[in-house]
Amino acid sequence: MAKYNPFGKIPLENRQWPDASIDKAPIWCSVDLRDGNQALAIPMGVEQKLAFFDLLVKIGFKEIEVGFPSASQTEYDFLRRLIDEKRIPDDVTIQVLCQAREHLVKKTFECMKGLKKAIFHIYNSTSPAQRKYTFNMTKEEIKKIAVDGVHCVQKYLDMVPETEVRLEYSPESFSNTEIEYSVEICEAVKEAWGATPENKIILNLPTTVECSLPNIHADQIEYFCKHISNRDSVIVSLHNHNDRGTGVASCELGLLAGADRVEGTLFGNGERTGNLDIVTVALNMYTQGVDPKLDFSNMNKITESYTTFTGMTVPPRQPYGGELVFTAFSGSHQDAIRKGMAARKGMAEDAPWDVPYIPLDPHDIGREYEEIIRINSQSGKGGAAWILEQDFGIFLPKAMHPALGTVITNEADRLQRELTPTEIHQIFNQTWIENSSPLRILDLAETHVDGKTDNDNVLCRASISWNGTTLAIGSKGNGPLDAFVAAIKESKIVADFTISAFHEHSIGSGSDTDAMAYIELTFDNGKKFWGCGRSPNVGRAGINAVVSAINQNV
């Protein structure tokens, strides 16, 4: 493994970040319209960018990098549309990116005319590899490029006298640059700009390529914050990428280490493995009781718009925004979620959130509880019951859940796919409500015996079909259900049984209200079978449930 060397350590003593906490939102800057856009196979046009800008404003971003106006006509026209059509709210600052070359800087300032506030972002690469391979320059020569860039920006400030301009400088490839040199070059830039507490400079420290553990990145940021002079004149900004898959963790630890500001994109769109996913970082804060100052209360709309604008999809397991993040297929997970959700119905709306397996209330980001449980062959007994409860008002007794779960998961396994709520309802009906084999009632009549004071006051007569043969049965009981059961037993068509459980509830409303009955029969051989019946008549619902249970014993 001599080809690859460990990153090494940062000479940081008495590090403070491990004991710090995130207790407030950073300054957020969206770079969707620049870094995100340049990573698209088909970059956005002006109209798409305008709509995306409006979305970012609605979410709550106060700083938005709109692009590279000197790089293409589309970028130039986009910024001019924002300015000329007065689309930029007074509390939003536009950020423009530019290489520190005189003709590019001049063209960028021409495009900026009419802006009230702007951040002018310049950069140059500083890492040993960039110095060696790209520029073939020394550290002093690279530092001179940075300082000359500041002077170039200052030269053209008079072109926009009505604009409040702040400078942002990025030592590109900060993540691979010697930490002492990063401080040195940023000191030179800060001094050249003349930063003060009233006119702060943004020093943006990109993990252009993520190449170390997140704790090493935190050490880099804390070292920088401790060694840059006049810290109160500096806004330390993070710009994390995700090459190691730890962009979110690196950002969070960078905030612990003292950073003030974060640049990133929605859902992490960016070159290679992407930029920092601001949605995840912000909602991670939210779940810890910290207001991120960004509004993701309509996540479905945000993901839909993002897909429309970029042509990218949000992965189904993407934190918070993915289609399946509030979904459980595992049976034990489903059962715990169902119980947790049921318990919250009796709690105050702001009661501490502690539903198992779900770190955030889906309602807080515009998702619905109905989406939480999905059913496949790995699902357990509770998931299908939850679907029937939430979507169809069918409240099965808990003891019946295993029987339902077995039927549903077997069907999902047969089909080798997930089942929809409608399919689950159909399978339930076909198995328990509509099953008419081998026993089916052809006709049934009840007679209440007048003047009787004992319990045997109902006479039941029925015409039934048993395995295709028509039979007439009848008996007495203390009610329609009891009389029908007695008639079945006396017919000897099935082994003797007893009713070991009975539950019922109403379903529907008004004139459409029915009775749902659930009955468990225990046969002489010890086997138990559940049956379900539905009818506008309470007594008939129970009789239907007995028939349903007998038909399970085949």
Ranges of beta strands (E only) in 424-527 are: 439-448, 458-466, 469-477, 497-507, 514-523
Does pLDDT of 453 surpass 60? no
| Distance in angstroms (rounded) separating the CA atoms of residues 277 and 182 | 25
Token representation of residue 39: 């990573």
- Over range 364-393, report the average pLDDT: 77
Confidence of residue 456 (pLDDT cuts 50, 70, 90): low
DSSP 92: -
pLDDT attached to residue 375:
74
* Nearest in space to 207 (alpha carbons), one of 434, 35, 401, 419: 35
Token representation of residue 61: 């971003």
**H or E stretch covering 65:** strand 63-67
pTM of the predicted model over 0.85 = no
Over residues 282-336, the pLDDT tens digits come to 999 999 999 999 999 999 999 999 999 999 999 999 999 998 888 887 778 888 8
Over residues 158-194, the pLDDT tens digits come to 999 999 999 999 999 999 999 999 999 999 999 999 9
Residue matched to tokens 């955030």: 360
| Distance in angstroms (rounded) separating the CA atoms of residues 355 and 73 | 51
- Over range 339-368, report the average pLDDT: 91
Over residues 13-67, the pLDDT tens digits come to 999 999 999 999 999 999 999 999 999 999 999 999 999 999 999 999 999 999 9
Q: How does strand 164-172 pair with strand 117-125? A: parallel
Dihedral sign, Cα of residue 430, residue 431, residue 437, residue 440: negative
* Nearest in space to 235 (alpha carbons), one of 264, 258, 202: 202
**H or E stretch covering 141:** helix 139-155
pLDDT attached to residue 103:
96
Domains, the chain: 26-296 (3.20.20.70), 331-431 (no CATH), 439-552 (3.30.160.270)
Does pLDDT of 480 surpass 80? yes
| Distance in angstroms (rounded) separating the CA atoms of residues 340 and 313 | 31
| Distance in angstroms (rounded) separating the CA atoms of residues 100 and 88 | 25
| Distance in angstroms (rounded) separating the CA atoms of residues 490 and 500 | 19
